[in-house]
Amino acid sequence: MDKAVEAVYDEVLKRNPNEPEFHQAVREVLESIGPAVAKHPEYIETKLLDRLVEPERQILFRVPWVDDNGKVQVNRGYRIEFNSALGPYKGGLRFHHSVNRSILKFLGFEQIFKNALTMQGIGGGKGGSDFDPHGRSDTEVMRFCQQFMTELYRHIGDQTDVPAGDIGVGGREVGYMFGMYKRLTNRFESGVLTGKSLKWGGSLVRTEATGYGTVLFARSMLQAQGDDLEGKRIAISGSGNVAIYAAEKAMQLGGVPVTLSDSSGWILDEDGLDLDLVKQIKEVERGRISEYANRKSGVKYFSGSRPWSVPVDVALPCATQNELNLADAKELVKNGVRAVAEGANMPTTPDATDLFQASSVLFAPGKAANAGGVATSALEMEQNASRTRWSFEKAEKKLTEIMRDIHDSAAQTAEEYGRPGDYVFGANIAGFTRVADAMMEQGIV
């Protein structure tokens, strides 16, 4: 790491103790940007990096609500508004028991560069709560979302901060939050939240976008090497929105996804996944992935482990951060994996990433590969602003173009700096320079 850049990282460690996920995200970016900083000493002179790693605003608030038994519950709500140099803050809300400041700062920091790569004029932010909607009734979820919004509404707006969904936040939660926002502000400001129902301002392809985009990026990497997804065996982790639609797009492009997982274990379907069955179990019944093995013959279920031991050509980690470690990476490399694309945010540990790159495995970081979700959220904002509704085909075409442009930008930037094929380096430098140039032109703010 460049000496001046390392000093910034040391200060991050000092000022943000006990935030390992945030430290990891910052280090991963700072390790790449030394060559760009060397070309622009003004970045150091104006403390641009010091400003970049410090959120513009951090909001922490209490969320009291009443459960179905009449008992008062108290959760924490967060919004990390990290950087608005390129546009209003944009990033999801995560409702999960693991949510804390470190995780949201890591996600918000990643979001800055992810959003910059889309070239859609959106800044970076993230938020959420340690409330977990799993096992809660619809009325409990509604009460929580309404209470959450009674504070959050003060800090958001279609020209200020535009939250979306994330883990634990889907169309149901977005609907409840939007309803309370509308009541509190007396405005039908449809662009203030994305991931809305198609009945009142949502965008076609938004549900599929993150998973589709991850697969489109993986295909672009293979095509740059004269290959394609056709006939490739694919391991996918997770069984939520991203994983399901990554599997769907992979199948459309001729790939053969054979695994899915959840926090309890994973399935192996050598014949290729039955997506109708997966959607019934996960989207309709909200069941466990083990149910798939119970209902389809020949499927194996493995409890308490992850799906990286099966020989595949492509791996798509689509569950959560740091889910694919060095031991998993060694197993994948031993079994001949060709490409890895991150569908989740930072799902691959740093040492695993290093091994993939040292082994000439094509590796796409999440800030590039899973940018399809936020890209389509921005397309939803565009439709809301013009009060129009695009067809599925038009929205998917725009998503495909954006993902191709992100791939090409990362690849070309890596080539320009003498690191051909290094998508981590290329994505970090490309995203960073776009944000840094805007920050320089906007002064010390």
CATH number of the domain that residue 115 is part of: 3.40.50.10860
pLDDT 10s per residue in the chain (445 long)?
788 899 999 999 999 999 999 999 999 999 999 999 999 999 999 999 999 999 999 999 999 999 999 999 999 999 999 999 999 999 999 999 999 999 999 999 999 999 999 999 999 999 999 999 999 999 999 999 999 999 999 999 999 999 999 989 999 999 999 999 999 999 999 999 999 999 999 999 999 999 999 999 999 999 999 999 999 999 999 999 999 999 999 999 999 999 999 999 999 999 999 999 999 999 999 899 999 999 999 999 999 999 999 999 999 999 999 999 999 999 999 999 999 999 999 999 999 999 999 999 999 999 999 999 999 999 999 999 999 999 999 999 999 999 999 999 999 999 999 999 999 999 999 999 999 999 999 999 9
Measured distance CA(208)–CA(283) in Å, rounded: 13
Q: Quick check: helix, strand or coil at residue 84?
A: coil
Angle at 432 between CA 319 and CA 329, to 5 degrees: 35
Q: Are residues 255 and 353 in the same domain?
A: yes
Query: Would residue 287 count as lying in a domain?
Result: yes
Q: What is the pLDDT of residue 1?
A: 76
Q: Which two tokens stand for residue 426?
A: 């290329």
Q: Are residues 73 and 171 in the same domain?
A: yes
Query: Would residue 430 count as lying in a domain?
Result: no
Domain-terminating residue out of 133, 153, 188: 188
Q: Which two tokens stand for residue 161?
A: 């901060």
Q: Are residues 333 and 229 in the same domain?
A: yes
Q: What is the pLDDT of residue 338?
A: 98
- Binding-site residues, in ranges, read 90, 111, 114, 165, 210, 241, 377
Measured distance CA(35)–CA(24) in Å, rounded: 20
Q: What is the CA radius of gyration of the chain?
A: 21
pLDDT digits (tens, 9 = 90+) for 195-253: 999 999 999 999 999 999 999 999 999 999 999 999 999 999 999 999 999 999 999 99
Measured distance CA(423)–CA(364) in Å, rounded: 6
Q: What is the pLDDT of residue 2?
A: 82
Q: Are residues 247 and 305 in the same domain?
A: yes
CB 107 within 8 A of CB 136: no
Query: Would residue 432 count as lying in a domain?
Result: no
Domain-terminating residue out of 52, 72, 91: 52
Question: How many structural domains are present in the chain?
Answer: 3
Q: Are residues 226 and 321 in the same domain?
A: yes
- Binding-site residues for substrate, in ranges, read 90, 111, 114, 165, 377
Residue given tokens 């939007």 in the structure block? 178
126 is a catalytic site residue? yes
Query: Would residue 406 count as lying in a domain?
Result: no
Q: Are residues 63 and 41 in the same domain?
A: no
Q: Are residues 59 and 12 in the same domain?
A: no
Q: Are residues 48 and 107 in the same domain?
A: no
Query: Would residue 301 count as lying in a domain?
Result: yes
Which of 14, 71, 126, 398 is catalytic? The answer is 126
Measured distance CA(110)–CA(247) in Å, rounded: 24
Domain-terminating residue out of 345, 369, 393: 369
Nearest CA-CA partner of 278 in 203, 307, 266, 263: 266
CB 23 within 8 A of CB 12: yes
Domain that holds residue 31: 1-52
Query: Would residue 333 count as lying in a domain?
Result: yes
For residue 69, the tally of other CB atoms under 10 A from its CB is: 7
Q: Are residues 64 and 183 in the same domain?
A: yes
- Binding-site residues for NAD(+), in ranges, read 210, 241
Measured distance CA(329)–CA(356) in Å, rounded: 7
CA distances (Å), origin 123, targets 39, 57, 85 = 24, 13, 6
Q: Are residues 59 and 33 in the same domain?
A: no
Query: Would residue 427 count as lying in a domain?
Result: no
Q: Are residues 67 and 18 in the same domain?
A: no
CATH classification at residue 296: 3.40.50.720
Give Cα 210 distance to the centre of its chain.
Answer: 7
CB 316 within 8 A of CB 215: yes
Q: Are residues 79 and 45 in the same domain?
A: no
Query: Would residue 413 count as lying in a domain?
Result: no
Nearest CA-CA partner of 191 in 384, 40, 11, 369: 384
Angle at 82 between CA 351 and CA 97, to 5 degrees: 65
